[in-house]
Chains A and B, each alone.
Chain A
């Protein structure tokens, strides 16, 4: 019994130790971002700032603000459109299956796993052709298209749990395809929309490969601007850390307030749902 009573404190100790490891990067980013440049020395890296200095935030914000806005213009429409399309696809693929619909679904799902490098060259040629290269609408299109597999998957699994009898009785009452979708499926899938929207928001906000190849300078989303910040000649670590925190803030806030739904999205991405 004496051994047993020791187990819990040890478990806590291990958990706290690991938690500190997981929080360490955030701690260092945060204290570094609050230091004036002359205090950002390698030796003092772990020490708290002697006085709090917001100038790195001002600097980082001035540089990142336009790109931050770009990210918002990108992520809001892209998230909404891809969620809506995903809901429609999921509805068809779960409640209106037809011959070959399973094959189509699997074929769409494959798009979720491909390395995007394998479509990048034609994609850019195509975007140039239709005049959307180096534009936010171009990026929106890209994120809607390549978001289709995951949003379709999430909604399809979500709708699969809605009983068939509900659809049948609605049909008895004479409701058709669109009416059932609008009056039954959408109201029943509010949670589904939240999960998918959070998932898409986080992914599109954090995405880098499309952003860096499809847009240049003033059209670039915030992650590319952040990366450029570190690419400049003199590395001002405090400004960089402030910039990283600013860029990460929206998704962190979403996680803090809606983390439960984020984790659901995480689990839904593993195909089996």
Chain B
């Protein structure tokens, strides 16, 4: 790296220095671009190049240990959409995403509002709700596998109320009806995974909502109170609508986590009997790296990517634009 010379001249000679400085500025600008270039190249190869390559593999016949790049068209995709396991994955992803995001939003907002009431020990409570965020999904999976063990744990309490859930070993589908090859509905076993995921991720929505709540001027709430609004109405009519942009962010962030989820489910339940807790992330991993169906795995990965890209790309463009 070339050493940067420091001019000792003081500001009085600005006019003399000007042409020189312009030149130097250009040099610095080039230097700036030069320093950014490695990252641009890395991103170009490791993000876009590799996505392209995965797309290429997904259209190939490489479904064994030996790479075979001959063109198979959409065969792998057609196979997946007719596949019992992948259909179950789609069902599970939809159910998981909707319930997971729903609970994270509701519980998060509820906790944030509670924490915003200027109570003593607020920071202690906050820390208790945030700490699961610092834990690995694998650890969460191991812990909740034990907690929700059908013959133990939480069930010892529930049994007293006459409830006896088989949790993640249950193969019941609530509200099931036939769709394609599968029974569409809410798999009971998936609820166990959702509880664990919500436990881990609500900290995020609490933090986001709390930051939002702190940004709402007290006068606004006060004004509503003076107008005769009850505390409940103040929140419903004034505060919560103002939190809408935060809700959008939380939904987007949680949705992309949920659509690519792998480790929690892999550590906690695996695919489950009848694939009641299987998700594309787990299927992709098993079929590619355990079964050597590379082309099928690549097709699953591309479908996962598209499902995320559909809303991440607009979100990125809109929020980047809003910044300027």
List residues 14-72 of chain A with CB under 8 A from any CB of chain B.
Answer: 14-15, 18-19, 21-26, 28-29, 32, 42-43, 45-46
Chain A contacts of B156 at CB under 8 A? 42-43, 45-46
Return B324 CB to nearest CB of chain A, in Å: 8
Asked if residues A110 and B53 are in contact (CB atoms below 8 Å), the reply is no
Asked if residues B146 and A32 are in contact (CB atoms below 8 Å), the reply is yes
Asked if residues B28 and A96 are in contact (CB atoms below 8 Å), the reply is yes
Asked if residues A209 and B36 are in contact (CB atoms below 8 Å), the reply is no
Q: Is A188 an interface residue (CB 8 A)?
A: no
Asked if residues B256 and A113 are in contact (CB atoms below 8 Å), the reply is yes
Q: A272 is contacted by which of B4, B137, B319 (Cβ under 8 Å)?
A: B319
Which of the candidate stretches A132-140, A189-197, A200-208 sits at the interface with the other chain? A200-208
Chain B contacts of A223 at CB under 8 A? 136, 138-139, 263
In angstroms, Cα B320 to Cα A220, docked, is 38
Q: Is A154 an interface residue (CB 8 A)?
A: no
Q: A152 is contacted by which of B11, B39, B128 (Cβ under 8 Å)?
A: B39
List residues 278-324 of chain B with CB under 8 A from any CB of chain A.
Answer: 280-281, 284-285, 288-289, 294, 297-298, 300-302, 304-305, 308-309, 312-313, 315-317, 319-320, 322-324
Asked if residues B301 and A120 are in contact (CB atoms below 8 Å), the reply is yes
A117 in contact with B284 given A19-B125, A42-B151, A110-B313 (CB within 8 Å): yes
Asked if residues B320 and A85 are in contact (CB atoms below 8 Å), the reply is no
Q: B54 is contacted by which of A92, A96, A121, A267 (Cβ under 8 Å)?
A: A121
Which of the candidate stretches B70-78, B80-88, B111-119, B160-168 sits at the interface with the other chain? B111-119
Point out which of A22, A24, A85 has the most chain B C-beta atoms below 10 A from its C-beta.
A22
Question: What does the 1/0 interface line of A216-258 toward B look like (CB < 8 Å)?
Answer: 0000000100110010000001001101100110011011100
A177 in contact with B111 given A96-B32, A102-B320, A104-B40 (CB within 8 Å): no
Point out which of B29, B46, B111, B294 has the most chain A C-beta atoms below 10 A from its C-beta.
B46
- B contacts with A, residue count (CB < 8 A): 107
Q: B136 is contacted by which of A85, A251, A262 (Cβ under 8 Å)?
A: A251
Asked if residues A114 and B308 are in contact (CB atoms below 8 Å), the reply is yes
Chain B contacts of A46 at CB under 8 A? 156
Asked if residues A177 and B28 are in contact (CB atoms below 8 Å), the reply is yes
Return B214 CB to nearest CB of chain A, in Å: 11
List residues 102-148 of chain A with CB under 8 A from any CB of chain B.
Answer: 102, 104-111, 113-123, 126, 145-146, 148
Asked if residues A18 and B49 are in contact (CB atoms below 8 Å), the reply is no
Asked if residues A270 and B253 are in contact (CB atoms below 8 Å), the reply is yes
Asked if residues A118 and B305 are in contact (CB atoms below 8 Å), the reply is yes
List residues 66-124 of chain B with CB under 8 A from any CB of chain A.
Answer: 111, 114-115, 117, 119
- Which residue on chain A has the smallest CB distance to residue B157? A46
Asked if residues A248 and B139 are in contact (CB atoms below 8 Å), the reply is yes
Q: Is B177 an interface residue (CB 8 A)?
A: no
Asked if residues A14 and B114 are in contact (CB atoms below 8 Å), the reply is yes
In angstroms, Cα B146 to Cα A121, docked, is 33
Q: Is B16 an interface residue (CB 8 A)?
A: no
Q: Is B43 an interface residue (CB 8 A)?
A: yes
Add 11 more A-B contacts to A119-B54, A121-B297, A208-B137 (CB < 8 A). Answer: A45-B146, A85-B39, A105-B320, A106-B317, A121-B53, A145-B46, A177-B28, A202-B134, A206-B137, A263-B130, A271-B316
User: Top 9 closest A-B pairs, CB basis?
Assistant: A174-B7, A206-B136, A115-B260, A96-B32, A42-B152, A176-B4, A119-B50, A255-B134, A208-B263
